[in-house]
Amino acid sequence: DTGVSQDPRHKITKRGQNVTFRCDPISEHNRLYWYRQTLGQGPEFLTYFQNEAQLEKSRLLSDRFSAERPKGSFSTLEIQRTEQGDSAMYLCASSPGRMPPQYFGPGTRLLVL
């Protein structure tokens, strides 16, 4: 068990570019969550997968955001036409079913110039 991993750890991009982040949950964890954390704030829920099904999306997740979890394993979060307001830490977490806790990855820090 190597924990939740995320790639890349840091990403700098120019406004208008597309970016994609990857999350590898703990093996056999069927629930996967994405959160966004801005400076000085707690993480805010973005979206949730149970296996390969995306069951909930926050209103924070605009049309420029899309997430997938093919085959119920790793997940990707794509942001199209990035804006400076997208600059944040994007956290992934996984859990083994309905019972807590959620285990967090190290996050991907995005800076949009």
Partner 1 sequence: AQTVTQSQPEMSVQEAETVTLSCTYDTSESDYYLFWYKQPPSRQMILVIRQEAYKQQNATENRFSVNFQKAAKSFSLKISDSQLGDAAMYFCAYRRIGGATNKLIFGTGTLLAVQP
Q: Which is nearer to partner 1, 52 or 80 (CB)?
A: 52
Min CB(81)–partner 1 separation in Å: 26
Q: Which residues contact 6 (CB under 8 A, 6 or more apart)?
A: 21, 22, 23, 24, 90, 91, 92, 105, 106, 107, 108
Q: With respect to partner 1, which residue has the nearer C-beta, 35 or 112?
A: 35
Among the listed residues 14, 59, 71, 98, the single contact to partner 1 using CB under 8 A:
98
Q: Of residues 1-60, which lie at the interface with partner 1 (CB under 8 A)?
A: 4, 31, 33, 35, 40-45, 48, 55-56
From residue 50, give the alpha-carbon distance in Å to each of 38, 63, 68, 69, 88: 25, 21, 11, 9, 25
**109 token code pair:** 């820090």
Residues binding partner 1 (CB under 8 A): 4, 31, 33, 35, 40-45, 48, 55-56, 91, 93, 95, 98, 100-107
